[in-house]
Structure 1
Amino acid sequence: MKTANNQLLVIFGASGDLTGRKLLPSLYELHVRGLLPERFSILGAARTEYSDDEYRAFEKVHIRESLKNREVDEAELDSFLRRVFYLAFDSTRSAEYRRLKDRIRLLQQELQLPDRIIYYLATPPAMYELIPACLKENGMNVAGSKDGWRRVIVEKPFGTSLESAERLNKHLIHIFDEKEIYRIDHYLGKETVQNILVLRFSNGIFEPLWNRNYIDSIEISASETLGVENRGKYYDGAGALRDMIQNHLIQLMAFTAMESPSVFEPEPIRDEIVKVFRALRPYKTHDMDNLIVRGQYEGYREEKNVAPDSTTETYVAMKMFIDNWRWSDVPFYIFTGKKLSEKSSEIVVNFKSTPHQLFAGQCSGGSCNKLIIRIQPNESITLKFGLKMPGAGFTVKQVGMDFRYDSLSKNYLPDAYERLLLDAMLGDSTLYARSDALEASWRLIDPILHHWKEEGAKNLFFYTPGEDGPLEKAKLGMIPKECSCQSCQ
């Protein structure tokens, strides 16, 4: 992996959960692996009063926790923490940014840092417009030298509707260039997700089959065993459609369905992603009831900070279509939910059955041929196919060939944030969402949200925690995960 140029990373919301749980532990791992620039510093900015040393001690605890059972190299950890600085200031007041500007200038002088700065908005979404506006008011959104630059990383959710996403995009583009805006989705930083592109475009055995002629359907899912826990206030205003499908799963669908780019560079890749979103078949009103199932787990309304009459969905299953030459009439099933039977995120490609089934026990109602790309837990790729059972006759049983990433025992499997942070430092936006792709995805999701708002509790189906969602999902016609024939059970 490449090493980025010398630069400064400013983290707004530096005393918050995301910084302690993900950002600084990921930066520490990059430091240990020698992937940070020689002159690279981190300036945390938040309201909480800390000195530099107090903040380092505070975050040292979080980094230790992130290492879990791994041995801690104290010298290495202290070396990394010497890169970390802190400023207590009020990010809601424009006048306060003069202090931030002065601190940045002082660090650049003392540490010989160039005029290259990344701003990371690890803050509540309400600050996504205010902080950039204050940066612009204080002349901090543009570089002061020819070889300098500014970049801004924006966390999800990027808007809560098409209108809010368009407004936020318009606001940011007036402050930064589009190429300087990095809209992060940590799902795209996972190793298995990136390998979708390699699996498809570097293997001649897959790409010729990757179309409507050979694929029966594709399923993209993310299920959790936990409920909303302590996120009731946020989740009750978001729901599964916004929280998981618009932000994560629809991006996985684009990686799965996109055409090969002309070259493996950020903009050609993101061009192909946009084409997928623009080809999505819009839902008509009757489709929203027939091709989408929304559910809520029993007991959700008793959760902390959840309205007692809430109609927020904790489960969504959708059947959608991509109207283009490659995927015409191939159903894409996307589903996600909380308090389900297992924690899992995966992409399942169901290939078509043979035209004529010759053998007893061959999978009925679907093919024995599946490609399963598991994102979590236990990142892996499995190819399933039918083989003869030992003994007399020709009875077919489904078997699998598996590859698990943890089998690469000599290779470190980086966290998603490690990859995405390093990409932003390098100026590689391949795994970040572009404004036109984001707005195109919202055009599909927005009418559904409006429809549900009008319907209220109508067509909201309840399910028992620990099961696989509401029974009404069966009407979408998803293929069972395993063969339905007796010999495959």
Structure 2
Amino acid sequence: MKRHPSSSLLLFGATGDLAKRMLLPSLYALHEDELIAADLRIVGTARSELSDEEFRALAKEALDQYLPDDRKDEAKIASFLKHLQYQPLDASTIEGFDDLAAKLGDISGGLSIFLSTAPFLFEPTIKGLQSAGLAGDNVRIGLEKPLGNDLASSAKINDAVASAFGEDRIFRIDHYLGKETVQNLMALRFANMMFEPLWNANHIDHVQITISETVGLEGRHGFYDETGALRDMVQNHMLQLLALIAMEPPVDYDAASVRDEKVKVLRSLRPVSPEEMVRGQYGSGAVQGEAVEGYADDLGEASDTETFVAIKAHVDSWRWQGVPFYLRTGKRMTERRSEIVIQFKCVPHNIFAGRGGRLDANRLVIRLQPEEYVRLMVMAKQPSMDREGVTLREVPLDLSLTHAFAKARRRIAYERLLLDLIDGDPTLFVRRDEVEAQWRWVDGIRAIWAKEDAPPKRYGAGSWGPSAAIALTERDGVTWHE
């Protein structure tokens, strides 16, 4: 299906933190590289009463603060700012949407909307867009999370959006899918003959997915305490990574084929039992040599919200039967890291055992951040005359994506996602049935927590989480990759 880029982009929440840190710098980068049309109109809207010039000044300040120095070009920044216009709007009332439509003017060339708003504002915003004629067949809408906090509230938001927009015009954003290394997961699996024949329960012992952060609340007190690690990280980012790892080969690299295979995985997730999960909350400690307070001190009050989750998940399919997927995420941990570890099984017979050679199973490490690399750990013979026996050692075969593509422009996820929204390519966005499958699984976990009514286990800031998370893997003879 041929798609046509939109001639206008409407940014909700245009004065907020996400816009300043990510959206405006991403749009500037696309402009700098001439990836968006020279006549693309970008209209920002928010509650703040700003003129066009005041919004451009706000954008200029954000670019000065958040753009890397090597991307700052005053002439190009000045030309980018000419794209920008602004219209104040209180999205909680229907008044004002007609003025927004007047500001946008002719949208016959297509309109893309980036909607980042509080969940309670989704319904009135959609009604306002519809009433002002901003939800027609040539309009598509990108939805930034949070899209509800359980299946029921998510369905309510999705129903509201679906009342005005067809599913093919709804682009649900998970910014992890915009990361180049995440997209490389499919290239690694489906463009290399050496991996796909081994990518199953016959050859893989287990999979680990870790997303660890060193930061605490960082100004997100209200949102985070109502959300917690399970809904903030597992429900979206981690389950999307799991789906990409476990999916069957799609027939084509297009939106329908890729998302069809992902949703099959998400629907195959086995309900988690109480002994297969650990929830924790950080206490005081030291992160990277700096003393930090515990979660309750950061929040200013006692709370049972989890800042750490570890889960032993299972995908009930032929390919993955018996292979555990260990998921782990938390705040105030030892280091910032996002990675996937594919642990292969040992060779069936060690021919070097009689001469003292010890084998370790091969391991594939896919690091998403802060570095980006793919590392295959293989066994090699240590150089020697072997009179005292054979010494085998684990050595890495490294592909540093940062170095291998050093001349390529390194892009943040929102650059790719905004461009795909403007162009109308939904491949890297999340379909409704995926979201609902993710919520069903997560709601099952939360139901167990509510029934148990046990407080989260404490862990010291700067550690790798509660000791129970170590026991979760150790009882299976598995150690977290640290």
After TM superposition, the score normalised by the length of structure 2 is: 0.92
SS of the aligned residue for 1:94 comes to coil
- Cα offset for 1:306? 5.0
- 1:19-38: per-residue Cα shift (whole Å, max 9, x none)? 11100100100011110023
C-alpha separation in 2, matches of 1:150 and 1:307: 44
Structure 1: runs of 5 or more not aligned:
144-148, 484-489
C-alpha separation in 2, matches of 1:334 and 1:196: 17
Q: 1:436 aligns with which of 433, 436, 448?
A: 433
Deviation larger for 353-362 or 15-24: 353-362
C-alpha separation in 1, matches of 2:165 and 2:3: 24
Q: Which residue of 2 aligns with 1:138?
A: 132
SS of the aligned residue for 1:179 comes to helix
Paired residues for 1:28-177 under 5 Å? 28-70=28-70, 72-105=72-105, 108=106, 114-143=108-137, 149-177=138-166
- Cα offset for 1:61? 1.4
Q: Which residue of 2 aligns with 1:466?
A: 462
1:387 aligns with 2:386: no
Letter of the 2:135 partner, please give it: N
Deviation larger for 12-21 or 115-124: 115-124
C-alpha separation in 1, matches of 2:300 and 2:378: 45
Kindly indicate whether the alpha-carbon contact (under 8 Å) linking 1:4 and 1:422 is maintained by their aligned counterparts in 2: no
Q: Which residue of 2 aligns with 1:401?
A: 397
- 1:410-444: per-residue Cα shift (whole Å, max 9, x none)? 11111100011111112111111100111011111
C-alpha separation in 2, matches of 1:59 and 1:362: 59
SS of the aligned residue for 1:220 comes to strand
Change (3 A) 1:361 1:315: farther
- Cα offset for 1:114? 3.7
Paired residues for 1:3-22 under 5 Å? 5-22=5-22
- Cα offset for 1:4? 6.1
C-alpha separation in 1, matches of 2:4 and 2:82: 19
1:346 aligns with 2:334: no
Deviation larger for 407-416 or 247-256: 407-416
Q: 1:331 aligns with which of 324, 349, 354?
A: 324
C-alpha separation in 2, matches of 1:4 and 1:465: 49
Change (3 A) 1:3 1:115: closer
Q: Percent identity?
A: 42
Kindly indicate whether the alpha-carbon contact (under 8 Å) linking 1:6 and 1:38 is maintained by their aligned counterparts in 2: no
1:243 aligns with 2:232: yes
C-alpha separation in 1, matches of 2:184 and 2:347: 28
- Cα offset for 1:303? 3.4
SS of the aligned residue for 1:29 comes to helix
Paired residues for 1:420-459 under 5 Å? 420-458=417-455
- Cα offset for 1:57? 1.1
Q: Which residue of 2 aligns with 1:486?
A: none
Deviation larger for 131-140 or 257-266: 131-140
Kindly indicate whether the alpha-carbon contact (under 8 Å) linking 1:49 and 1:88 is maintained by their aligned counterparts in 2: yes
1:362 aligns with 2:361: no
SS of the aligned residue for 2:70 comes to coil
Paired residues for 1:283-302 under 5 Å? 283=272, 287-288=273-274, 290-299=275-284, 300-302=294-296
- Cα offset for 1:282? 1.5
Paired residues for 1:191-230 under 5 Å? 191-230=180-219
- 1:382-423: per-residue Cα shift (whole Å, max 9, x none)? 111111122233111111011112212211111100011111
Q: Which residue of 1 aligns with 2:287?
A: none
Letter of the 1:298 partner, please give it: G
Q: Which residue of 2 aligns with 1:146?
A: none
Letter of the 1:293 partner, please give it: V
C-alpha separation in 2, matches of 1:257 and 1:72: 40
Kindly indicate whether the alpha-carbon contact (under 8 Å) linking 2:473 and 2:480 is maintained by their aligned counterparts in 1: no
Q: Which residue of 2 aligns with 1:276?
A: 265
- Cα offset for 1:139? 2.7
Change (3 A) 1:336 1:247: same
SS of the aligned residue for 1:381 comes to strand
- 1:172-191: per-residue Cα shift (whole Å, max 9, x none)? 11110001111101011000
- 1:56-110: per-residue Cα shift (whole Å, max 9, x none)? 11111111222233252111111111000011222221021111111111xx3xx
User: Alignment RMSD, CA only?
Assistant: 1.8
Kindly indicate whether the alpha-carbon contact (under 8 Å) linking 2:6 and 2:422 is maintained by their aligned counterparts in 1: no
- Cα offset for 1:18? 0.7
SS of the aligned residue for 1:42 comes to strand
Change (3 A) 1:122 1:397: same
- Cα offset for 1:45? 0.6
- Cα offset for 1:165? 1.2
C-alpha separation in 1, matches of 2:16 and 2:267: 36
- Cα offset for 1:455? 2.6
- Cα offset for 1:5? 2.7
- 1:117-144: per-residue Cα shift (whole Å, max 9, x none)? 111112223222221121122332114x
SS of the aligned residue for 1:57 comes to helix
Q: Which residue of 2 aligns with 1:480?
A: 479
Q: 2:407 aligns with which of 406, 410, 413?
A: 410
C-alpha separation in 1, matches of 2:426 and 2:257: 11
After TM superposition, the score normalised by the length of structure 1 is: 0.91
Structure 2: runs of 5 or more not aligned:
285-293
C-alpha separation in 1, matches of 2:135 and 2:315: 39
Change (3 A) 1:361 1:54: farther
Q: Which residue of 2 aligns with 1:27?
A: 27
Deviation larger for 388-397 or 169-178: 388-397
- 1:447-483: per-residue Cα shift (whole Å, max 9, x none)? 211221233334x211111111111112322633569
SS of the aligned residue for 1:187 comes to helix
C-alpha separation in 2, matches of 1:54 and 1:3: 34
- Cα offset for 1:243? 0.3
Paired residues in the alignment total 462
- 1:238-277: per-residue Cα shift (whole Å, max 9, x none)? 1100000001000000000001111211011100011001
